[in-house]
Amino acid sequence: MLKTMPRTPDRLFETVANYTYDWESWMSPDGRPLWINPAVERITGVGVNECLVMPGYPLPLIAPEDRAAMAAQLATAAAGGSANDVEFRIQRRDGAPCWGAMSWQPLYDAEGRPLGFRTSVRDITRRKEAEEAQEAARRAAEQANLAKSKFLAAASHDLRQPIQAAGLFVAALRRRATEAGTQELVEQIGLCLASTQELLDALLDISRLDAQVLKVERGSVALGDLFERLDAEFGRRAAEKGLELRLVGTSLFVASDPVLLYRILQNFTANAVRYTPSGRVLIGARRRGDIVRIEVADSGIGIAPEQVPLIFQEFTQLGNPERDRSKGLGLGLAIVDRLARLLGVAVGVRSQPGQGATFWVEVPLAEGAPLPVAAVEAPGPRLAGRRIALLDDEGVVLAALRAFLVGEGAAVVAAETPEGLLAALAEEPPPEVLVVDYRLRGGVTGAAAVRRLQAALGRPVPALLLTGDTEPRRLAEAQASGLGLLHKPVDPRALLKALADVLG
């Protein structure tokens, strides 16, 4: 033990203190080092004797960027305070990166007189390196996820444009086809487009959830109404496969958003019908205190325990290596996972291979009158004589929109630029509604184009935006515009309904 110590500790304390792994110091009440153990050299590269005569010890052993903060901390130690695991960077003699975590406590003699304070520094370099590696991995994963989202958004946008045009051309052609053979071809084309649109709609759902543009409208929801919709949507499909679709009647009400909760049950039921080759699908609900568990159980192929964590990820399909489109897209449960987080509810699954699966969602119990469940809307009235102005920089989409709306009896003026549309409108009666693509040339948004057109026309003409974007940021921007928004490829009936609503 060094002779500068004011008193001699007993031999047991000396042995323990000198050979402890952490860097230990005994500081006098005025902040001078009285004793330092040999671990200081292992951690800092500076020996004990050098430290004992070091001005301002231990501050020169602390990295400059942390020195002021640690000086303030050590002042509280000299005043009788204590602390644990205060992290700082160490200034090693060899310059190697090093982190420490310091703790300190006051020391008193047997009569309670202050002897100064003790500091203990633990080397946490490996822990900090692990944390930094974990943070770097997290940032890399975020960047990869962002890159994936941007790719999907760009691919989805570029695919939606020609599919939008093809869908509208098919709708226009369906009105003109008279021969049975031609009608059959038109219907087959329509089925192919519907299959592609299913994928794009699923990607759009993912993007809208990631963009947080879906609004939750909570209320008291009658589960019986949701079950009736499930029966209407999936009963015939199940019967065609020889399955029994059984829904257990319930009078329970839950507190949730009826549309978003239905989407969860819709995806559960679609998977159950798709992956059950024979037997039945059972849908029911049970109350557990203030919670209602809604279950969709099937007698299908089941899921291995090690695969359960994977099924809520995008594009995960078990038992479908050939990517058979009839077996789904692998997006339904990823949408369920996002919807559950948005609603703040728990979802899960119980399953064993060959013994079917039971998917469930737990929702708070509610009392009172239910919110209405959205029903399928009938197409809007014909547009005979209504004046519509179209703006889209994709020529084929513009031609398809024009052909479809003219076929519905509308008087249409169309152009690919705001300047061209204003020039065309100069010779026509003013339009009753504007239909504008959201992403235009030169980085111009549809919302900005609508404002410019309204200003030039001298009145706030009602407007609808069409967008093929699925990038979350762009979806949020379009949603914030306050204008009506339809997503490409727009179903012709949905477009007619939206126009009828705008036109009153």
Q: Please report, as a single letter, which amino acid is at residue 286.
A: R
* CATH no. for 144-217+376-504: 3.40.50.2300
What residue type is assigned to position 170 of the chain?
Answer: V
Contact yes or no for 210/471 (Cβ under 8 A):
no
The whole-model pTM stands at 0.43
Assign domain 11-123 to its CATH superfamily.
PAS domain (3.30.450.20)
Tokens of 150: 């941007």
380-414: b or e for each residue (b if 16 or more CB lie within 10 Å)? beebeebbbbbbbbbeebbbbbbbbbebbebbbbb
How many alpha carbons lie under 13 Å from residue 306 in its C-beta half-sphere?
A: 0
Please, are residues 193 and 170 in contact by the beta-carbon 8 Å criterion?
Answer: yes
User: Which DSSP helix (H) or strand (E) runs through 343?
Assistant: helix 332-343
Residue 22 CA to residue 374 CA, distance in Å, equals 67
Question: 430: how many CB neighbours lie within 10 A of its CB?
Answer: 11
Given the DSSP bridges, would you call strands 357-364 and 33-36 parallel, antiparallel or unpaired? Answer: unpaired
Q: Which string of b and e fits 73-91 if b means at least 16 CB within 10 Å?
A: bbeebbeeeeeeebebbbb
Question: Coil, strand or helix: which one is 59?
Answer: helix
Distance between CA atoms of residues 232 and 249, nearest Å: 14
Instruction: Pick the closest to residue 463 from 443, 444, 441, 448 (CA basis).
Output: 448
Can you tell me the distance from the alpha carbon of 329 to that of 320, in angstroms, rounded to the nearest whole number? 10
E strand or H helix at 48, and its extent?
helix 48-52
Query: What is the model's pLDDT at position 106?
Result: 92
CB neighbours of 425 closer than 8 A, spacing ≥ 6?
A: 389, 413, 431, 457
Long-range contact set of residues 230-236: C-beta below 8 Å, sequence gap at least 24: 230/262, 230/265, 230/266, 230/269, 230/283, 233/266, 233/269, 234/269, 234/270, 234/273, 234/281
Provide the b/e sequence for 248-277 (b: ≥16 CB within 10 Å): eebebbbbbbbebbbbbbbbbbbbbbbbbe
Q: Name the DSSP letter for residue 309.
A: G
Q: Any idea where the domains of the chain sit in the sequence?
A: 11-123, 144-217+376-504, 219-364
Place of tokens 């052609």: 173
How confident is the prediction along the chain (504 residues), in pLDDT tens digits per residue? 333 444 444 455 566 667 788 999 999 988 899 999 999 999 999 999 999 999 999 999 999 999 999 999 999 888 889 999 999 999 999 999 999 999 999 988 888 888 899 999 999 999 999 999 999 998 888 887 777 666 666 666 666 667 777 777 877 777 777 677 777 777 777 766 665 666 566 666 666 666 665 677 888 988 998 999 888 888 888 998 999 999 998 889 999 988 889 889 988 998 899 888 889 999 999 998 899 999 999 998 888 887 777 777 654 555 444 334 444 445 678 888 888 888 899 999 988 888 889 999 999 998 754 555 444 444 444 688 899 999 988 887 888 888 888 888 889 999 999 898 889 888 888 899 999 988 888 888 888 999 999 999 888 889 988 887 766 676 677 777 778 888 777 778 888 888 888 887
Superfamily of 219-364 according to CATH? Histidine kinase-like ATPase, C-terminal domain (3.30.565.10)
Tell me the C-alpha distance between 202 and 328, whole Å. Answer: 11
b/e for 298-325, b at 16 or more Cβ within 10 A? bbbbbbeeeeeeebbebeebbeeeeeee
| Distances, alpha carbon 29 to alpha carbons 34, 76, 82, 333, in Å | 10, 11, 14, 64
First to last CA, the chain: 94
Vertex 198, ends 241 and 353: CA angle to 5°? 45
Return the pLDDT at 407: 84
136-156 burial, b if ≥16 CB within 10 A, otherwise e?
A: eeeeeeeeeeeeebeebbeeb
Residues 282 and 295: their CA atoms lie apart, in Å, by: 8
